[in-house]
Amino acid sequence: MALHITKVAYGADSLDHLVQRLKTRAEAGPVFLTTRYLPKRHEEIAGQGSLYWIVKHQLVARSPIRGFGEADGGRTAIHIDPALVLVEARPKRAHQGWRYLEASAAPADLGSGASNVGDLPPALIGRLAELALI
């Protein structure tokens, strides 16, 4: 079973803002985040896990994790796919850094069910999630 991690989208005030930020970073080259330490369970995450983004205390999207590498200053780079996969919004308290998320506790992708919520614009999905309608 895949293992995932969660992270607060610091500075992103909406899902649209996060989408735009990742698109801009993708234009400059590979997209990665840095962290102080390599997760102890990184082998369970790399290639099959995702980074789930928290925006306004809700898990709203995920970025598949491509792998881990070294970054400047002895830090670890978490290489992610810049294309976001929207998920069913689920409340999640903010935290510093990242936290593990077991596959059984991960929210389902939008558009994977009978509803076509995944076809809606990210701004509308974010607003519906804030109102706890999705």
pLDDT digits (tens, 9 = 90+) for 3-34: 999 999 999 988 889 999 999 999 999 999 99
Report how many domains make up the chain: 1
Domain limits for position 26: 3-130
Nearest residue to 134 (alpha-carbon basis) of 102, 8, 126: 126
- Which pLDDT tens digit goes with each residue over 31-60? 999 999 999 999 999 889 999 999 989 999
Contacts of residue 79, defined as CB under 8 A and 6 or more positions apart, other chains included, come to 30, 31, 32, 65, 66, 67, 68, 69
